[in-house]
Structure 1
Amino acid sequence: MHRPLPRPLALASALSLALAAPAFAQDATSATTLDTVIVTGTRASNRTVLESTAPVDVLTAEDIRKAGVVNGELGSALQALLPSFNFPRQSNSGGADHIRAAQLRGLSPDQVLVLVNGKRRHVSALVNTDSKIGKGTTPVDFNSIPVSAISRIEVLRDGAGAQYGSDAIAGVINVILDNDPDSGAVEASFGAHHTDLKPIDRTITDGQTTFLSAKAGTRLGGDGGFIKAGFELKNREATNRAGFDLIPPWEQTDNNLALQGKRNYAMGDGHSEDVNVWFNGELPFGQDGNGRLYAFGTYNSRDTEGDNYFRYPDDSSNWPEVYPNGYRPVSLGDNQDLQLVAGARGQWGEWDYDASVDYGRNDFTYRLKNSLNASLGPTSPTRFRTGSYAFAQTVGNFDLSRVFNTDAATHTLGTGVELRREEYRTHAGDPASYAAGPYTDRPTGSQAGGGLSPQDEADLSRNVLGAYVSLSSQFGEKFSTDIAGRYEHYQDFGSQWTGKLAARYEFVPAFALRAAISNNFRAPSLSQIGYEATSTGYDAAGRLTQGRLLSVNNPIAQALGAQPLDPEKSRNYSFGFTSRVGEHFDLSLDFFQIDIDDRVALSEDITGDALTTFVEDNFGVSGVQSASFFVNAADTRTRGAELVANWRQALAGGQLLLTGTYSYAKTELKDIVATPAELLALDPDYVLFGVEERNTLTDATPRTRGQFAASWNNDRWSLQSRLSRYGSATRVFDFGDGYVPTQTYGAEWQLDLEVEYHVTPQWSVALGGQNVLDNYSDESNEDIYYFGNLPYDVLSPIGSNGAYWYGRVRYTF
């Protein structure tokens, strides 16, 4: 049962905290970041947050460090700090248990571009096929970027394809690494969830998390050269919020019923271990010392576990000789992530140049333990390597810019070229993970994810060429513009032109209007073009199935109506205003509309005897009970608004900062893809893109998010609080035969608190809690709580782990 914070109590709590001088995290813009010169979204060298022609948030290192205290996760920190950023903690969701996908402005995870020090970040290699949010995508793995390495993050909330290239439909997140050679820090924290789990009426302590980070720097070569490096070690124990098992009707044998009322399932975060290392450095060169050789890199090694559905003793997927009491498979992820960048920048006469090479790579190996290939009989292995995945990206950039003045304005001209090489490969798993054994009445392949077979292997690559020109202009003190145009040529999708025009006019010092219009582009990823997989698992209704995810080039998929994929294309519009009154108050309000054509998504699972018979009769492949493939599913329109307001005031010998933020984004479907005639000929009830996948694009995440944050600090104390409200969200399931259960989960409140005391200027200690009111989402209804086993929805932004309490010690030098 959820325990919402009533609105009057919520406001009273927040105001009392503020008046008592509590410290608030600086969630979108702060007293310092308002005057920070931004480098994202413009070529001008002197624009600040409120002077930008499109909305830009700046998050400081302190914001990120404190918000990411749970497991040291950058994704969790960004969700806490950015109302338009969603980072759900999915469970029993295949690859999404290991690499979590994030959304900006409610759009797909692959529609936001991530940069590190202004250089394109690579995506992950693992395709999320069993998740809800991010289904069918290979998102950027935010948690592979060390929290302690960050100097600040700039978030451009606007289409930016003409400035940065493909994928920047929702916006750009630019992570800027620490470049201060004269400082360092060592930090250690420990925390755990302590919660009252109402569905089982127990108080639980779990999810114990240990986090250690250290960083240091030194100057090199004089004249601004430096090297800064650090590492992080993280260990997080598992959490479990499963309920008591009521046993599905089709599983109610005597042996299975003996397990009724037990916690046979697991729901929550799996155990994880992380090692992060990073560096950032520069070295001057040239006779005048104006040139800079630079290099930076991050490396992440992460071992993770994921939960899966329980297999009952008397089930075709089990052999009692191996698991007399049934079993619950556990997925194992081995994630290796690397980014290395090297380059040089300097001046040629009046031109500034920047030349760089950027290499990024992600390798993921997927394994299972406590599993079984039932078709092999009682001698089946119980551990499997089900497949390995690799994505590599090499980017070469050469950029030129210069400032020139006319009688009317100051202009910054930028131009450059980019060459990008993308490579994607998958490799088969152990033969036992996909083998069809002699027991033909049993499901084939390892349970909880059949292994990739040799026929599933993919080996794809492509080259991308891009060239751009941009002009940022300042006409006097009141009017500024940003204009950009870009040409991109994909080896597999041809050419595309994108453009952007943005402007800002300051009527008076306290009020300015800004607007932008752009078109943007995202080519289907290599994984969406060529990924294939064979799986054995349970569908949404809890029934065991064997299925194939087919590429659009597969003859079976083409016989079912699959078509070559088209790129996604968007048209972005935004309009807003900014206001700053003295040194105390500032506000920005922006409205936006994003029209996207040909959005790429996975089709519904096509199931039934008609499919099985058709595939066997025409292709000689037996036992295919479900099939899916990627489609250009629909055109969509997303409309929304985003508000950021700050008040800062000297108070009681310290500084008080109050921040209020609000975001709204609503996505509607237009021109949904029709079910092809090939499918309708098999069964007139087949639907290519149905209610479940439509729900994924529209209502599965909250449309609204509000936040009130306050902070107060002086030389000794730092007090923080953050009150967040997550809007309602709707889940839709299609269990077949017209059975489409639906539930809307109500809005929820979350309160976070922290107090930090500086024992000395170098040493500090902190105590705090996240979700201190121990709030949960609504419990799922009987139609979709999987017979009592999964009482909470895995997509609730507030999560399903309850309150988290922690302590932290930090030493700076």
Structure 2
Amino acid sequence: MQHRQLSLLALAITSAFFQLNVRAEDSLPAGEDARRLDTVLVTGTRGTARTVLDSPVPVDVLTAADLKATGASNGELGQALQTLLPSFSMPRQSNSGGADHIRAAQLRGMSPDQVLVLVNGKRRHTSALVNDSSKIGRGTAPVDFNSIPISAIKRIEVLRDGAGAQYGSDAIAGVINIILDDAPEGGEVSTTYGAYHTHQDAIGRTTTDGQNSLTTAKGGVRLGEDGGFVRGGAEYKERNPTNRAGFDGFADTPGQRNYVMGDGSARDVNLWFNGSLPLGEHELYSFGTWNERHSTGAQFYRYPYEQPQFYPNGYLPQSLGVNQDLSATAGFKGLLGDGWDFDSSLTHGRNRFESASRRTLNVSLGADSPTRFDTGDYELRQTTANLDFSRELRLAERSFVLAVGGEYRYENYLTTAGDPASYFGSGADGANGLRPSEEADLDRKVFGTYAELSGDLSDRLFVDAATRWERYDDAGSKLTGKLSGRYRLNEQWALRGAVSNNFRAPSLAQIGFQHTTSNFGDGGTLTDVRVLSVNDPIARALGAEKLDPETSKNFSLGVTAQLSERFDASLDVFRIDVKDRVTLSQRIGGDALEQYINDTFGVAGVHDVNFFTNAADTRTDGAELVLNYRQPFYDGELALTGAYTWNHTKVTKTKGTPAQLTALGIGNDALVGVEERNTLTDAAPKDRFVVSANWSSQHWGLLGRLTRQGETTRVFDFGDSQPEQTYGAVWQLDAEVQYKFTPTFDIAVGGNNLTDNYPERSGSEINYGGNLPYDVLSPIGTNGAYYYARVTYGF
């Protein structure tokens, strides 16, 4: 049925666009969307320059104007990408631990750490914090997209295909390459303000909250007469919280709201620069970004009966985070003798997350307990050196490009214990601090070398072949390869495809991370769950093993069509098989386990644990359709875009319960149970559809965008029950009106989710007494309609 729906949708959209196309005039507008198709790609092949339609693999190009017109993103790059790309998903989180502060994103329905992020073609570091309580991205340390300033971006190229042989590990699902603004002069100042105005059916009230402000400034100056420049800028973002919690069905007073469900408050400062200095036939270059974010997150409410001597009216703990993110690159490139181009660079990235909690207590400290705790710090450092060479070759009277190079990377992962009050005795409620015994200091060295050859084997056939060998001093070595090609059937139609194998070594954070969090346990009650490092003696005694790298086989086949100067289309299907997928096990617990840990290790009160495993193999099948149409319209240019993505993941194999757990009476599927299967297969939307219309003239710009967010499924394991609910598809309507007073001064007003839609309400088995009326799985979010205004001045 899903394949049939995809086919019917593709046929309907194609027919509609074709009918528009045959009525069009012959001249092609030289507008933004036309230029986008002619953009020379730097992602996907290191050889002969390709454009979007003649690339052998699917690549999306997003411009700075696209990002600005996403409205509710309010400077959040991840939110903007989700709005524009059906294959990219980054749902908002709430009551989700670290994910309230650093959100994870998916490409093609894969895990967040299975996509490689580049900035100006250089590897970006990940965050130091593992999302251990979220649904999307659970168990991953993702790249923090929202630490990259959105105003710094010239364009983004999204490669939707495995590319490990070209760029190294992590590129199982694809590559996102962020190209920074390199304008040598001029600048821009912009400010945006917006808020949510919505009717909350769960409580029968209309509210306005979540006020957002974003102010950006950037400028550039030329250096000399040979094209040198320095460009840089700053951003300030501030977000007020939202709350979509329902009335508390467990409270003694009817109509009482004790929980918070929604966005926490956040304040960001971003700085960035990008520069180049030509030196004859050579060039010095450098770029960098810096972010500091102070954010809050919601935790679960504690009822008066839990600690009546301290909080007779109950209390709601709140998580705090300070996220500091730095990335800087310096490089030297140019020409060598005998036709070789070279590029040498050094990149250092660092992410530090300082966690804390307030409005809570440590009952073991009695009346002397503080109400605010520092609960631990997490830091990742990554330094990467690259040396790349390329040159043109003549083989059999045809021109090819050979690219070779090497990479050396050093990574260091550090964690620091919280203050003693946070872990003393039973620990801070809802935010048990990291103990000194749980601190980590891990490092690794990675070396890789690659070769790639690309060119036209005939007038119709372009081929790109790449291979890469990479060695981790803690995870072994791997040889990967990729073969991709494009065959031109005629002037309008072409076939393209690729086959590759890829791998991803477990991150140092997944190896060394330890943490204690509160989540739903047996009977749906709150329980503390301790995440154990696979190196922890307790974890080893329970059957944890050294983590192996994930490996994948990727296959894709597509067709592209340039049916006229105005109308183009592409359809790609893919399969990704992943073996030894790194996942965080489900909650493993029981009285026997608690007694065993107490008797064997002298650690009391540990009733529930989990740890990382290689316990699952998966297969993801999918299809992606992209349609573009453009024509002159009423003294302006009209661009219509339709995009649809469908993917389906299934677990093909799992490892059984370790004998150590079986001996404690813990049954089958302890590592990959129903909740973890749900995370891998059904928690993300199976399909998404986006159609947009953009018309611009000398003074006006009009944008309309309709998005269909596909269905999602949530499964809980409460021990005595396993409630499940599938949430239906939701439609979202966005619009923006822009007026340009001059070429350098404009204002815009718009809204996202103008029809004020929400996900389907959760049932009584899942909504925790009505407190959490909506699930966070749907990309539409749970905040409702958002309205904004933006003023921009260029100079």
Q: Same fold (TM over 0.5)?
A: yes
Pairwise TM-score range, normalised by the shorter structure: over 0.9
In the TM superposition, what are the counterparts of 1:643-662 in structure 2 within 5 Å?
A: 643-662=625-644
**1:404/1:410 contact within 8 Å kept:** yes
Q: Does 1:721 align with 2:704?
A: yes
> Shift of the alpha carbon at 1:549?
1.3
| Residues 336-383 of structure 1 deviation map (CA, whole Å, 9 limit, x = unaligned) | 000000001100020000000000000100011101111211221000
**2:589/2:609 contact within 8 Å kept:** yes
Q: Counterpart of 2:747 in 1: which secondary structure?
A: strand
> Shift of the alpha carbon at 1:535?
4.1
Q: Does 1:71 align with 2:71?
A: no
> Shift of the alpha carbon at 1:540?
7.8
Pairs aligned (count): 771
Call closer, same or farther: CA 1:171–1:536 in 2, change over 3 Å. closer
What is residue 811 of structure 1 aligned with on the other side?
793
Whole-Å separation in 2 of the counterparts to 1:278 and 1:486: 32
What is residue 250 of structure 1 aligned with on the other side?
none
> Shift of the alpha carbon at 1:222?
2.2
* AA of the residue aligned to 2:328: L
**1:54/1:157 contact within 8 Å kept:** yes
Q: Does 1:151 align with 2:154?
A: yes
Whole-Å separation in 2 of the counterparts to 1:536 and 1:658: 47
Whole-Å separation in 2 of the counterparts to 1:776 and 1:545: 29
* AA of the residue aligned to 1:707: V
Match of 1:123 among 107, 122, 126: 126
| Residues 685-712 of structure 1 deviation map (CA, whole Å, 9 limit, x = unaligned) | 3622200001000000111011111111
Q: Does 1:308 align with 2:311?
A: no
Structure 1 alignment gaps of length 5 or more: 1-6, 20-25, 248-255, 437-443
Q: Does 1:731 align with 2:714?
A: yes
In the TM superposition, what are the counterparts of 1:256-655 in structure 2 within 5 Å?
A: 257-258=252-253, 260-285=254-279, 289-315=280-306, 318-321=307-310, 323-349=311-337, 350-436=339-425, 444-535=426-517, 539=521, 542-655=524-637
> Shift of the alpha carbon at 1:541?
5.3
Whole-Å separation in 2 of the counterparts to 1:206 and 1:757: 27
Q: Which one is further off, 614-623 or 590-599?
A: 614-623
**2:133/2:519 contact within 8 Å kept:** no
**1:445/1:536 contact within 8 Å kept:** no
**1:320/1:326 contact within 8 Å kept:** no
Q: Does 1:668 align with 2:653?
A: no
Whole-Å separation in 2 of the counterparts to 1:70 and 1:487: 39
Q: Counterpart of 1:734 in 2: which secondary structure?
A: coil
* AA of the residue aligned to 1:44: G
**1:360/1:394 contact within 8 Å kept:** yes
Q: Does 1:768 align with 2:763?
A: no
Structure 2 alignment gaps of length 5 or more: 1-8, 22-28
Whole-Å separation in 1 of the counterparts to 2:336 and 2:523: 65
Whole-Å separation in 1 of the counterparts to 2:104 and 2:530: 23
What is residue 253 of structure 1 aligned with on the other side?
none
Q: Counterpart of 2:47 in 1: which secondary structure?
A: coil
**2:547/2:613 contact within 8 Å kept:** yes
What is residue 699 of structure 1 aligned with on the other side?
682
> Shift of the alpha carbon at 1:539?
3.7
Q: Counterpart of 1:460 in 2: which secondary structure?
A: strand
Whole-Å separation in 2 of the counterparts to 1:140 and 1:685: 35
Call closer, same or farther: CA 1:537–1:742 in 2, change over 3 Å. closer
* AA of the residue aligned to 2:277: L
Q: Does 1:232 align with 2:226?
A: no
Whole-Å separation in 1 of the counterparts to 2:429 and 2:269: 30
What is residue 4 of structure 1 aligned with on the other side?
none
Whole-Å separation in 2 of the counterparts to 1:547 and 1:616: 16
> Shift of the alpha carbon at 1:409?
2.1
Call closer, same or farther: CA 1:538–1:665 in 2, change over 3 Å. closer
Whole-Å separation in 1 of the counterparts to 2:142 and 2:546: 22
Whole-Å separation in 2 of the counterparts to 1:68 and 1:121: 26
Q: Counterpart of 1:556 in 2: which secondary structure?
A: helix
**2:276/2:286 contact within 8 Å kept:** yes
**2:296/2:318 contact within 8 Å kept:** yes
What is residue 185 of structure 2 aligned with on the other side?
182
Whole-Å separation in 1 of the counterparts to 2:442 and 2:395: 49
TM-score by length of 1: 0.93
> Shift of the alpha carbon at 1:543?
2.1
| Residues 34-84 of structure 1 deviation map (CA, whole Å, 9 limit, x = unaligned) | 111000011224211101000000001100122154321000000001100
Whole-Å separation in 2 of the counterparts to 1:517 and 1:117: 26
Whole-Å separation in 2 of the counterparts to 1:723 and 1:543: 39
**1:415/1:467 contact within 8 Å kept:** yes
Whole-Å separation in 1 of the counterparts to 2:48 and 2:452: 13
Matched residues, percent identical?
58
Call closer, same or farther: CA 1:541–1:391 in 2, change over 3 Å. farther
What is residue 759 of structure 1 aligned with on the other side?
741
Whole-Å separation in 2 of the counterparts to 1:688 and 1:36: 46
RMSD across aligned positions (CA): 1.8
> Shift of the alpha carbon at 1:536?
5.2
Whole-Å separation in 1 of the counterparts to 2:515 and 2:534: 13
> Shift of the alpha carbon at 1:483?
0.6
Whole-Å separation in 1 of the counterparts to 2:523 and 2:788: 38
Whole-Å separation in 1 of the counterparts to 2:686 and 2:160: 16
TM-score by length of 2: 0.95
**1:449/1:537 contact within 8 Å kept:** no
Q: Does 1:92 align with 2:95?
A: yes
**1:339/1:361 contact within 8 Å kept:** yes
Whole-Å separation in 2 of the counterparts to 1:72 and 1:354: 32
* AA of the residue aligned to 1:73: E
Whole-Å separation in 1 of the counterparts to 2:599 and 2:789: 63
Match of 1:161 among 158, 164, 167: 164
* AA of the residue aligned to 2:386: N
Whole-Å separation in 1 of the counterparts to 2:528 and 2:229: 56
> Shift of the alpha carbon at 1:542?
4.6
> Shift of the alpha carbon at 1:415?
0.4
Match of 1:140 among 130, 143, 149: 143
* AA of the residue aligned to 1:497: L
Whole-Å separation in 2 of the counterparts to 1:727 and 1:534: 33
Q: Counterpart of 2:640 in 1: which secondary structure?
A: strand
* AA of the residue aligned to 2:304: P
